[in-house]
């Protein structure tokens, strides 16, 4: 029976020991430990920290691990990110898991690593700038989701998958709100920039169906997500409404004939500002833009946070709230939805 985890094994190319010591030893502050005598001739190096061991082994036909990765708990993710950035390593932050802050980086050999701010520390940092405790935010989210009526079983399956796999979806309350807005404006042409496996698409497709029919564009980078969406949306009875596209979302919108009644934006946050001119071109006057994650777990008002994603959200918010072409409100459901009416 398994009783614990002894170590994590990563590969590196021949001759990479000095780079490994610089990255794992100096930057990550993991002391090097001596390898057993019979293993020294193989090369590589081992590191150990508080409750964790990393073994770097030499692989002659080395290929970096781009998907599979270890995830390390850290006490101060911001400080680690600054240290890595100063050494030339780019950290991509995300806040897709409620009450947790995560960062992804590649080691000198291209192996993917994940760092996670422990929930208690992250919670405390968030509460320093707000009167809402973590429990209150959780209770509020659960209360709002509970106000949404019974959903089809297939939609509930999609919600369960998101919970099980920590996959970001808009959730029931935001989905219901998107459905309501689409119904209110009689939307019949909807374009999604970043659709995941089709959860938000289902809410828009339901609205378009109720509005008399039309089309909803489901757009993602990954073919796997497209296949998942086809399966779910077909089961929900939306085969005749959904157009599937796989690729870079803003480029696909640029190539797709408009106008659209409603555009939903949930791409990588650093890409938000550059998406606005394309959206303005493709959305009809009187149309509505909905854009997700505009509160960004409170990072937008954290003066010490200047990562690329947060700055992208700030810049997009500045542009759309100061433009005479839009009437804009930020709705604080879940992680914040900007709802903007095109004048």
pLDDT at residue 100, as a whole number:
72
- Neighbour-count burial for 36-52, b at 16+ CB within 10 Å, e otherwise: eeeeeeebbbbbeeeee
Q: Region 305-330: what's the mean pLDDT?
A: 94
Whether 282 and 308 have beta carbons less than 8 Å apart is answered as no
Q: Region 52-63: what's the mean pLDDT?
A: 93
Q: Region 30-48: what's the mean pLDDT?
A: 93
Q: Which domains does the chain have, with CATH numbers?
A: 8-124 (3.10.180.10), 150-342 (3.40.50.150)
- For 11, 37, 61, 305, the CA distances from 316, given in Å and listed in that order, are 40, 57, 44, 16
At 287, is the pLDDT very low, low, confident or very high (cuts 50, 70, 90)? very high
pLDDT at residue 98, as a whole number:
62
Query: Who has greater pLDDT, 128 or 293?
Result: 293
Query: How high does pLDDT run on average in the chain?
Result: 89
Q: Computed from CA positions of residues 233, 234, 237, 238, in that sequence, does the dihedral angle turn out positive or negative? A: positive
Whether 330 and 337 have beta carbons less than 8 Å apart is answered as yes
% pLDDT > 90, the chain: 68
| Best CA proximity match to 218, nearest among 184, 253, 169, 254 | 253
pLDDT at residue 250, as a whole number:
96
CA 58/CA 42 separation, integer angstroms: 7
Alpha carbon 234 to its chain centroid, in Å, reads: 25
Tell me which of 150-164, 178-192, 267-281, 293-307 is least confident.
293-307
CA 305/CA 126 separation, integer angstroms: 12
pLDDT at residue 138, as a whole number:
75
At 126, is the pLDDT very low, low, confident or very high (cuts 50, 70, 90)? very low
- For 23, 38, 52, 293, the CA distances from 33, given in Å and listed in that order, are 15, 15, 12, 43
Tens of pLDDT, residue by residue over 97-113, are 666 778 889 999 999 99
The whole model's pTM is what? 0.65
For residue 32, cis peptide bond before it (omega within 30 degrees of 0): no
């Amino acid at each position: 029976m398994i009783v614990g985890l002894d170590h994590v094994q990563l590969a590196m190319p021949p001759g990479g020991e000095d780079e490994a010591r610089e990255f794992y030893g100096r930057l990550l502050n993991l002391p090097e430990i001596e390898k057993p005598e019979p293993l020294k001739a193989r090369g590589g190096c081992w590191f150990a920290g508080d409750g964790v061991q990393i073994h770097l082994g030499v692989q002659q036909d080395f290929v970096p691990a781009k998907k599979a990765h270890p995830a390390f708990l850290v006490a101060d993710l911001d400080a680690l990110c600054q240290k890595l950035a100063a050494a030339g390593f780019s950290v991509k932050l995300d806040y897709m898991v409620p009450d947790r802050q995560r960062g992804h980086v590649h080691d000198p050999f291209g192996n993917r690593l994940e760092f996670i701010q422990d929930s208690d520390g992250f919670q405390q940092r968030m509460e320093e700038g707000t009167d809402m405790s973590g429990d209150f935010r959780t209770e509020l989210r659960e209360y709002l989701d509970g106000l949404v009526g019974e959903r089809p079983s297939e939609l509930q399956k999609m919600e369960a998958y998101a919970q099980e796999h920590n996959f970001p979806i808009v959730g029931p309350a935001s989905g219901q709100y998107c459905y309501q807005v689409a119904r209110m404006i009689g939307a019949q042409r909807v374009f999604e920039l970043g659709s995941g496996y089709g959860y938000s698409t289902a809410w828009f497709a339901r609205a378009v169906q109720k509005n008399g029919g039309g089309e909803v564009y489901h757009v993602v980078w990954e073919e796997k997500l497209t296949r998942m969406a086809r399966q779910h949306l077909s089961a929900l009875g939306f085969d005749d409404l959904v157009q599937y596209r796989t690729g870079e979302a803003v480029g696909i919108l640029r190539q797709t004939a408009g106008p659209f009644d409603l555009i939903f934006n949930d791409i990588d946050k650093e890409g938000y500002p550059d998406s606005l001119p394309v959206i303005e071109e493709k959305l009809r006057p009187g149309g509505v833009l909905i854009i997700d994650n505009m509160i960004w777990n409170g990072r937008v008002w954290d003066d010490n946070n200047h990562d690329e994603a947060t700055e992208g959200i700030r810049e997009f918010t500045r542009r759309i709230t100061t433009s005479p072409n839009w009437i804009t409100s930020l709705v604080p459901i879940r992680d914040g939805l900007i709802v903007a009416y095109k004048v």
